[in-house]
Structure 1
């Protein structure tokens, strides 16, 4: 059973890293291409597949703050990718990635995002295993080890 659990931990960690590479790649591409959401806003508003409330959001919130979203979207993708690749703040990175994936789906941007969304949901459900091989988990283990050595040396 221990081998099975270790195998799942490795599998979910590899999925996390793969998802992180995907998000990082998307963000890097948008940064290099000088991403501009202003061309996307009218296409979402006129899209018959996007819900009306989302069209209203795109028109009034995103359309009025294009400069902000031009920075938030690529940097958000890049940071989510870095968090997942390194295992730093895995759960918040997964939740942010799911939030972005849902937004892309609502905007009818069907590309790799549904796959990212599905993998993200699986990893949220298994985030303890997915973040086992990561920097955050390593730092927590190191801190525990130091605290134990301080306690044992104080008891001597």
Structure 2
């Protein structure tokens, strides 16, 4: 199954559709927060912390402690990171540029939202993103990764060989 996800051209096309769908979901969510002018993570953080108490808490105590002691005191930073993170992940996924990194950052945000007691479409997005991550480079085959990644690989190999030559000279 993994081989099919990583090598097949038809699957690469299906992954491109999934990637663009996820990218659209991220970019519209983030852009709405940026242009709406009223997004502030403080209310969300307070709500998540409140869900960590009671008989059946929706938020684990360790996550609530993180939210209360790290995220809440830095709510303006987290507001910025969520808004722009969603937009940048969306752009990268739509373009198929640094697809694996964008998918990893997207799934990280999805898990943070799920840990905070929000269900919504996060479960679906996590499942689809896992497909992209397992597929590796095939997920960005029909995107800019097809051109950028070979260039980066050549560039990095050149830098490494130049570094090795300098060490050998010394």
Superposition TM-score tier, normalisation by shorter sequence: 0.7 to 0.9
Aligned partner of 1:8 in structure 2 is 11
- Pairwise mapping of residues 21-100 of structure 1 onto structure 2 (< 5 A)? 21-34=24-37, 35-47=39-51, 48-100=57-109
Q: Using structure 1 for the length normalisation, give the TM-score.
A: 0.84
Q: Is the 8 A contact 2:97 2:148 kept in 1?
A: no
Q: Using structure 2 for the length normalisation, give the TM-score.
A: 0.77
Aligned partner of 2:125 in structure 1 is 116
Consecutive unaligned residues of structure 1, counting only runs of 5 or more, are 145-156
Cα separation, 1, equivalents of 2:45 and 2:137? 37
Aligned length: 142
The runs of 4+ residues in structure 1 deviating greater than 3 Å are 139-144
